[in-house]
């Protein structure tokens, strides 16, 4: 069972709802019971978030932002304004994960961003997709090669679903990565690349309980990349399952 204060929702899940009605969407998230969210598009949404988060009793311990591709200054300023302590780079080019040298360049970028972030009191992290696990070099997942080249200050947010899709034994992976993993993307589905096949946590084929047990203190961040039904059904279903409301 996940404590509510260790549970968050990646707002990308409800991106279309935010476009329709930003305020009402955050109100609904709070009504379900979430107290924390993980924003995306931080710089563009900062003003709206600054108004709406406190209104609905929400905070944002982490955010996604393209530190390796966008100007970092405005990102850190927006994070500071919103009281966000961790900025996570959400995506890099899959072609950059095929050689150790290329992975080391990514690590260098994250290490440099972490140094800059520290000047603002902000931690920097990286979030994976499937390709960082699908790429295996000398028997080692590329994501683990990245971890070996990161400074101690850089954290990882492991997207457990995409790690499974990429072929990793996710509980074992989390065990090897250890304390560097400060957050998990928790999602469920059929374990394929089909985003539309994702479902509420607990309704799919992913061994969610084993995964959560392998990283007991990491922040649990619910996310769906897509869904075939009403998205808030999956958002609420995930909350209820993770907090034990739907488990006998």
Tokens at 67, concatenated: 């530190």
pLDDT over 50 at 248, yes or no: no
pTM: 0.97
pLDDT over 60 at 73, yes or no: yes
What share of the chain has pLDDT > 90, as a percent? 98
pLDDT band at 245 (very low <50, low <70, confident <90, very high): confident
CB atoms near residue 217 (< 10 Å): 8
The confidence score (pLDDT) of residue 247 equals: 58
CA angle 20, 24, 27 (to 5 degrees): 145
Model confidence pLDDT, tens digit, residues 57-69: 999 999 999 999 9
If you average pLDDT over residues 206-235, what whole number do you get? 97
pLDDT band at 108 (very low <50, low <70, confident <90, very high): very high
* Partners of residue 85 on adjacent β-strands: none
CATH architecture of 4-243: Alpha-Beta Barrel (3.20)
């Amino acid at each position: 069972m996940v404590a509510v204060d260790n549970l968050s929702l990646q707002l990308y899940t409800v991106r279309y709802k935010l476009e329709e009605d930003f305020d009402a969407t955050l109100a609904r998230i709070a009504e379900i019971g979430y107290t924390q969210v993980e924003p995306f598009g931080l710089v563009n949404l900062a003003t709206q978030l600054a108004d709406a988060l406190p209104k609905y009793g929400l905070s944002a311990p982490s955010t996604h932002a393209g530190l390796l591709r966008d100007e970092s200054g405005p990102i850190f300023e927006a994070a500071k304004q919103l009281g966000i302590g961790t900025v996570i780079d959400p995506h890099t080019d899959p072609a950059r994960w095929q050689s150790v040298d290329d992975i080391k360049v990514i690590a260098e970028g994250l290490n440099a961003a972490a140094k800059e972030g520290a000047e603002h009191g902000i931690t920097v992290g990286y979030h994976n997709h499937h390709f960082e696990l699908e790429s295996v070099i000398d028997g080692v997942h590329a994501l683990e090669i990245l971890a070996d080249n990161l400074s101690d200050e850089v954290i990882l947010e492991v997207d457990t679903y995409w790690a499974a899709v990429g072929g990793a034994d996710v509980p074992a992976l989390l065990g090897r990565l250890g304390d560097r993993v400060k957050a998990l993307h928790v999602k469920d589905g059929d374990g394929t690349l089909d985003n539309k096949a994702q479902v509420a946590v607990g309704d799919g084929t992913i061994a969610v309980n084993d995964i959560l047990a392998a990283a007991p203190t990491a922040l649990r961040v619910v996310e769906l990349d897509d869904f075939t039904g009403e998205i808030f059904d999956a958002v609420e279903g995930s909350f209820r399952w993770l907090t034990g409301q739907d488990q006998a």
